[in-house]
Amino acid sequence: MLNSLVNWTIDTLPPSAIACAYRRMPPSLASTLGLFRFRQTVRWAARHSAFYRQAFAERNINPTKIRRPEDLGDFFTTPDDVAARPEEFVCRPPNIVFESSGTSGRNKRVYYSHQELTEMGHSMAAGFRLMGLTSADRIANAFDFSIWIPGIITHYGLMAMGCFCQAFGKVDPIEVYRRLESYRFTVIFGEPTWLIRLTELAEKHGTYPIKFLIGGAEEMPRAAVKWMEHVWQGAKLKMCYGSVEQGSALGFQPCEQADGYHLDNFDFLPEIVDRDAEGFGEVVFTTLRRRVMPLIRYRTRDVARLIPEPCPCGIRAPRITRIRGRRDELVVASGGNLYPLMFENILRPVAGLTHDWQVVFRLEGVREILEIHIESQRTDTERLEAEVFAQATDQYPDLMKNLALGIFQMRLIVHPHGEVRTARKLKRLLDLRHDPLPSASDTEESLAFTDVSR
């Protein structure tokens, strides 16, 4: 009885009520409700999914005894599980499938029902409302509509908000730019690199009064944010943190605290696991409303830290920092743990670089080589190198101490514009030390460097 009442109430909530829940729900109530729905999800999955039934049986887990995530011990689901056996997760017939590239080279498939897509649209709309969008806004949605999710889920969110929109898909930015005036768009959605290309057009040919640029699917380089907000004269750049597996966004940027995300703890039960001394660990989530393909303790591979202090904006939904990097992009090299964000911090203050860069780790004999590939039209290469090394020394003295000790060699390799990014997603740290033949998933991304010599 209580179950069905809670479910009915939640499933029929309009976006405004969900937004109100993010904003005001006391953490203790949010946690009670989250755990209640967590237990329902575990029981549902154990009853209806071959994957969970088998995994629980192998670990002697009795689903009716599970009260909180920790009770599942070391049980997690992973991107590899979803890539290898997606259909075994499915609990009831789906209406739609999305795919995303898997780390193992196989695509992950994630299934949803029409009702789930509608509910996720309501959650997206709630997040958009908190970020400042209203039903009076006019939206250009240039997220990709092909085999993965951001275009469609954003579209469902916009339909739930009741605003005017054009569903572009990931078209050439010039197509959107040409229509900014006639449709009087106030908000533009797109992937970070796409928004950067659009902003280059606006810088060259003039801007229009835009309120928000909203990105997702990858982190936006920090240096780009200031430049974009400057070019668009008062527009705000906001990010959503989402993925095909999350469906709707797990994180939004509703307030001025742009260096992280408020989490949707209404649809997800988030955890940070395997934390290091600073509290950084892997973002793990359990879906709380999904019945077609529930994901329990799903390891995202993204690394972030919980921000325990309440946010000055007053929204009570929990917060995490910006994604520091991918757990599978953590490279233990050069005498330390290296994350993409470190190199972003090193390169950001250096003038004349594009936002695309890649760090490649190689071995020459036994010597470790760290190559920083950047794009620039600067011709003063020695000075450029000195600036990059000075930033590295300043910000990461331990790394440079290891360089001085001769533990590794660091090289800067300058490319013309457009040469570093050869795939949709740029793998920032590419470790080729123990893999003389690049794996299938690395090949595409490292093509640009096959002829680099120095």
User: Which residues form the interface with Zn ion (CB under 5 A)?
Assistant: 255, 257, 311, 313, 315
**284 with 304: CB under 8 angstroms?**
no
User: What are the CA-CA distances from residue 230 to residues 162, 180, 236, 330 (Å)?
Assistant: 29, 18, 9, 33
Which residues pair with residue 78 across a beta bridge?
none
State both tokens at 272. 């940070």
State the CB neighbour count (10 A cutoff) for residue 351. 8
Nearest to 200 by CA among 351, 355, 423, 341: 355
Q: Which amino acid is residue 176, in one-letter code?
A: V
Separation between Cα atoms, residue 131 and residue 256, nearest integer Å: 10
State the CB neighbour count (10 A cutoff) for residue 275. 13
CB of 316 to Zn ion, least distance (A): 9
Q: Which is nearer to Zn ion, 49 or 253 (CB)?
A: 253
H or E, element range at 272: strand 268-273
CB of 130 to Zn ion, least distance (A): 9
**46 with 65: CB under 8 angstroms?**
no
CB of 254 to Zn ion, least distance (A): 6
Q: Which is nearer to Zn ion, 242 or 251 (CB)?
A: 251
Q: Which is nearer to Zn ion, 93 or 312 (CB)?
A: 312
CB of 263 to Zn ion, least distance (A): 11
CB of 433 to Zn ion, least distance (A): 41
Please report the DSSP string for 217-236 in residue order. Answer: SSPPPHHHHHHHHHHTTS-E
CB of 63 to Zn ion, least distance (A): 35
Q: Which is nearer to Zn ion, 121 or 254 (CB)?
A: 254
Q: Which is nearer to Zn ion, 311 or 414 (CB)?
A: 311
Q: Which is nearer to Zn ion, 6 or 311 (CB)?
A: 311
Q: Which is nearer to Zn ion, 311 or 400 (CB)?
A: 311
CB of 332 to Zn ion, least distance (A): 34
**185 with 211: CB under 8 angstroms?**
no
